[in-house]
A and B are shown apart, each in its own frame.
Chain A
């Protein structure tokens, strides 16, 4: 028995030694180490996950944990020290309608997110102006015939207050206009997925969503005559878009800085980020 134990011990020791030397060899590729926690916007989550996968391949000693819950969760988690990076659809270091600035936080631009106005496929309207959208969302325009469509009630579908998509849509597409709260044909949804399902299955419905989510079962309408496409965002004619930010407590350092640098690097911006249908920050002037 004692002999067996001795053999086991020496075998284990050997294994450890080998593993250690291998790990040492691998770390030569990247000297960074540490753990990065990312929390916040669900819109930015696919981007974060992809970037984390690539970054960890280059820096095997860095561990990145990413989760999404909602834009305002990002800067809040950073404030409480739960996360190193808070993903947010707006610049949380300054005041936006409904949310106070998070002082001491630095906003790092990582992507451009375009948003689109979508309608149910049965709606005949192809183009809406800022004024018409403001009318529809404030409850002044309630019938599609008032904006050139068929005689049918407009069903307004919107995201819950505090959603990053809503904050940006209200600021850009409605030019700060109100979103009605208490109407008969008014409904709130909790996520981009629910929004899409609701608009796709409700006749005469109108809603708004990240451009990357738009697909065949809903119709994206033109805004002031301009189609919602990435090209139009880049050439400056389509105005409903926003930067996605990584919020950090003060200027980022160490592994966090390296990760943000990687997400902002040309390689990632022109490669994976474009593939995920976001727009590189360098494309905007």
Chain B
């Protein structure tokens, strides 16, 4: 029968501390360290495997599209009418890009402004108040934002614009801007706080005003960090689905105005994927759109890593 050595507290009767005890404790540490190392290694490998499976599965199904329609049709045609075998995704791709751009146009000035305010201007007690609130905003499920957009924002937009529907890029961009705002603000905040104090001191010593210090010294020094924050916000805006579906109108057409009911890659996938047959061109086309989204996010993350490395070198 094994003695329950590991659970008993070490003998601490002063000088009675034996050599065997020390050796056993050393062995125990070695064992747990090795175990922990293998456990974490296993976890990471398992995660990589899952990620690889996702990419392979989506990619494999997407590639089945190649035999069915030409890629030029898929990327260049604006005609998405699955029931007539027309699978042109150009409208969705362009809408996705314009929605993301519009979102950033609205949210970047506001969130970077908030970051400057939190990091540079307000007194410490207010910082302790603002930061947790922004952190909480990140945790609100997107469907909640979508529902508020549907029931609160859309009627407001309808009244303000005189449109009869109100759904479209503007509504979606406003909802998304609110969602990415805390992400961009908090990470920019960290980047600005990380700028060494001696830069500011030097600038003040040369007689700069506070605005000059912020605009000419702090922001350029934190520039890469802020850019990384913006790109992180962008990945969130591109991939967001549920909130967008509820306010964008879900009509497969190019958004020519801010109030045209339209559809983006994510919203079109989620609206249709449950209604398609497994072995159909339609299904493959949706998977190709998902694969495209995966590639875009992947590319953006590579860009972030690249920027991060540059900063460390510089």
Please tell me if A162 contacts chain B, counting CB pairs below 8 Å.
yes
B272 touching A160, Cβ below 8 Å: yes
The A interface is mostly helix, strand or loop, or mixed, namely: loop
Residues of chain A within 8 A (CB-CB) of B167 are 187
**Contact of A72 with B165 at beta-carbon distance under 8 Å, contacts A187-B261, A203-B158 already known:** no
25 residue pairs bridging A and B, Cβ less than 8 Å apart: A69-B274, A70-B274, A72-B277, A97-B83, A99-B277, A152-B164, A155-B164, A160-B271, A160-B275, A162-B272, A162-B276, A163-B275, A181-B81, A181-B251, A181-B253, A185-B165, A186-B249, A187-B249, A187-B251, A190-B250, A190-B270, A202-B164, A202-B166, A203-B158, A204-B164
Kindly report which residue of chain A lies nearest to residue B275, judged by CB atoms. A162
- A residues sitting closer than 8 Å to B (CB atoms) are 1, 69-73, 76, 80, 97-99, 152-153, 155, 160-163, 181-190, 194, 197-198, 201-204
Bound-complex Cα distance A76 to B1 (A): 57
A194 touching B81, Cβ below 8 Å: no
**Contact of A80 with B249 at beta-carbon distance under 8 Å, contacts A184-B260, A187-B167, A198-B150 already known:** no
Please tell me if B22 contacts chain A, counting CB pairs below 8 Å.
no
**Contact of A187 with B158 at beta-carbon distance under 8 Å, contacts A76-B277, A160-B275, A162-B272 already known:** no
Given A76-B278, A188-B271, 17 more pairs with CB closer than 8 A: A72-B276, A73-B275, A153-B164, A160-B272, A161-B275, A162-B272, A183-B251, A185-B261, A187-B250, A189-B250, A197-B150, A197-B151, A201-B150, A201-B154, A202-B166, A203-B164, A204-B164
A202 touching B251, Cβ below 8 Å: no
Please tell me if B155 contacts chain A, counting CB pairs below 8 Å.
yes
Which of A1, A155, A197 gathers the greatest number of chain B CB atoms within 10 Å? A155
A182 touching B274, Cβ below 8 Å: no
Residues of B148-197 contacting chain A, CB below 8 A: 150-151, 154-155, 158, 164-167
Which of the four size classes fits the interface of chain B?
20 to 34
Residues of B238-289 contacting chain A, CB below 8 A: 245-246, 249-253, 260-261, 270-272, 274-278
Chain B 82-96: CB-based contact to A (< 8 A → 1; otherwise 0): 110000000000000
**What 3 A-B pairs have minimum CB-CB distances, sorted nearest first?**
A162-B275, A188-B250, A70-B274
Residues of chain B within 8 A (CB-CB) of A201 are 150-151, 154-155
Residues of chain A within 8 A (CB-CB) of B276 are 72, 162
**Contact of A161 with B278 at beta-carbon distance under 8 Å, contacts A152-B164, A155-B164 already known:** no
Residues of chain A within 8 A (CB-CB) of B151 are 197, 201
Residues of chain A within 8 A (CB-CB) of B274 are 69-70, 73, 162
A161 touching B83, Cβ below 8 Å: yes
B278 touching A182, Cβ below 8 Å: no
Residues of chain A within 8 A (CB-CB) of B154 are 201-202
Residues of B92-125 contacting chain A, CB below 8 A: none
Bound-complex Cα distance A198 to B249 (A): 10
Residues of chain A within 8 A (CB-CB) of B1 are 1
Kindly report which residue of chain B lies nearest to residue A102, judged by CB atoms. B277
Bound-complex Cα distance A181 to B1 (A): 76
- Nearest-Cβ distance from residue A52 to partner chain B, whole angstroms: 21
Which of B1, B246, B274 gathers the greatest number of chain A CB atoms within 10 Å? B274
- Nearest-Cβ distance from residue B170 to partner chain A, whole angstroms: 14
A160 touching B250, Cβ below 8 Å: yes
Bound-complex Cα distance A188 to B167 (A): 11
Bound-complex Cα distance A158 to B167 (A): 14
A202 touching B278, Cβ below 8 Å: no
Bound-complex Cα distance A123 to B124 (A): 55
A181 touching B252, Cβ below 8 Å: yes
Residues of chain B within 8 A (CB-CB) of A155 are 164-165
- Nearest-Cβ distance from residue A150 to partner chain B, whole angstroms: 12
Residues of chain B within 8 A (CB-CB) of A181 are 81, 251-253
Kindly report which residue of chain A lies nearest to residue B155, judged by CB atoms. A201
Residues of chain A within 8 A (CB-CB) of B261 are 184-187
Kindly report which residue of chain B lies nearest to residue A2, judged by CB atoms. B1
**Contact of A182 with B270 at beta-carbon distance under 8 Å, contacts A1-B1, A72-B275 already known:** no
Kindly report which residue of chain A lies nearest to residue B248, judged by CB atoms. A187
- Nearest-Cβ distance from residue B255 to partner chain A, whole angstroms: 11
